[in-house]
Amino acid sequence: MSSSVPSLPVSVHNLFLFRFKILGVAEVSLKMTKVIQEAELMEQWLPAKPIADMEAFYIVYDNNRSPMVFSIGSEGKLYLIKKNAKGVNELLELSSKFNVPKNHRAVALNVTQDSQLMTCIAFATEEKGKASSLNIVLPFKPSNIDWSLADLSSWLLNPNQASFSIKRLLMGVGTIDNEHPFLAATLSVPGEMRVDIRHVAVDLKAGSWSWEQGLQYPYNAGTMTDLCFGSLPLGDGVFGLDMTQGKPAITFVTYSKSPAGLSTKIVLNLPVIPGVRSLTTSLDEEGYTNLLVGGHGILHMSAQACSDSKVTHGAVVEPTIKGDLMKGIQKLYTSQDKSFLTIWLQNSEDDILYQRFTYETQPDDQGDVLLLKPKANVVPLMSSTTGGVRFTALYNSITQSRSLFVLGKDGQITLMSQAVAIRCLIAFYAIPEACC
């Protein structure tokens, strides 16, 4: 890695703020010029309307492996930021394209995408003081949808509403045997104080969906510190972190159905670590989810270890990944390929860091144990002065590059890309995004 040009802040037509960051080296400014630079990190402000709703920020790839940003704006509209045919980012308002009534606000959103770019979107809207409307988009690949069309309502499944107010949506990744991934909603029921979790059973063949009551979480979902989707050999369900019962506790909830249609609740207690604050998952080779728990360090548990868990409620163990910078981890995110897992985190100082790992299998008395082995040291990316508040990450299997997207306190999105074994040619008199 060369350090001759550590940072290149350049403004192009007042649309882009583009710069390199090389850790531990001071920044140097250059004007419009052509620079060849072997860079590890590239930071770019995406031209976009500020996103005020920090809980609605999802990024997936289009068919050219350029990012598409789905979000909910402060006025309750659903937005998409994507590149058009000319390679220029454009802001599209999707609420009207999906025929959302003008008096409805978007209140929840989830977007997932698998390695084959199969994309799933679900969002909820509601009129003030009334029940929510759940909207499920048919699974698609980015090249299937023409986002410039005025009416995209044909991509929505038939509605089947209920008298709930939806707070949050949790969704799995990818379609298996033409079935929609697991979808659940946290919601409040009229007349009840607690927030519940309901499974949404999606029937793609019939083009419809229905509410299922098999998920019975033991705690109030409205007071949970963190929730995330999980897939274990026992079934698909929800991991949850609760802090309201006198001590932190992590549980996984799923259910099974008998041929007669009767539901049997399954609840697993899982261990916590000191300072626990966050949860996320990674996928194993069979499509199940390994659990990662953030606190004063990170606890990694394979999907099989989660299924076999016999610990008592709130049991505390030591983290499997430690470090001086990994204190009070409040947010975790993963991106992965067949060889590596990258963990991105935000610690108690609001610093954003990442570290790369490989999976290794180690024999054990009770069978093979899946372990994470560090591939490199933890790398600080953004300091607390940057003010990053929410982030997500993507891995490009074609270029082998990793990209981190950070939503700052001002509602602007920062893109940081790490190129692996490639040389990045930047021509600042052209559109700089083309290099990403």
Burial class (CB in 10 A: 0-12, 13-18, 19+), 51: buried
As a whole number, mean pLDDT of residues 134-141 equals 95
Percent of the chain whose pLDDT exceeds 90: 44
Structure confidence at residue 365 as a pLDDT band (50, 70, 90): low
pTM to 2 decimals? 0.82
Strands (E), 62-103: 67-72, 78-83, 89-93
User: Does residue 135 carry a pLDDT above 80?
Assistant: yes
Residue 199 forms beta bridges with which residues?
Answer: 184, 212
Is the pLDDT confidence value at 236 over 70?
A: yes
Mean pLDDT value across the chain = 79
> Among 152-156, 173-177, 271-275, 324-328, whose mean pLDDT is lowest?
173-177
Question: For 111-119, what is the mean pLDDT?
Answer: 92
The string over 121-148, giving b where at least 16 C-beta atoms fall within 10 Å of a residue's C-beta and e elsewhere, is bbbbbbeeeebbbbbbbbbeebeebeee
pLDDT of residue 387: 56
Task: Determine contact, residues 160/210, Cβ cutoff 8 Å.
Answer: yes
Residue 412 confidence (pLDDT): 73
Tell me what pLDDT residue 257 has: 79
Across the beta sheet with 278-283, the strand order is 278-283, 289-295, 297-301
Reported confidence tier of residue 166, pLDDT bands at 50, 70, 90: very high
Greater confidence (89 vs 282) lies with 282
Could you report the per-residue pLDDT of 184-218, keeping only the tens digit for each?
A: 999 997 777 889 899 999 999 988 999 988 888 88
Q: CA–CA separation, 123 vs 136, rounded Å? A: 7
Q: For residue range 33-62, what is the model confidence (pLDDT) as tens digits?
A: 333 333 344 444 454 455 554 456 899 999
Are 17 and 45 spatial neighbours (Cβ–Cβ below 8 Å)?
A: yes
E strands in 213-366: 226-232, 235-242, 249-257, 263-270, 278-283, 289-295, 297-301, 331-336, 341-346, 352-362
Say if CB 44 and CB 414 are below 8 A apart. Answer: yes
CA-wise closest residue to 224 among 210, 245, 209: 245
DSSP letter for 305, please. Answer: H
Q: How far apart are CA 403 and CA 424, in angstroms?
A: 14
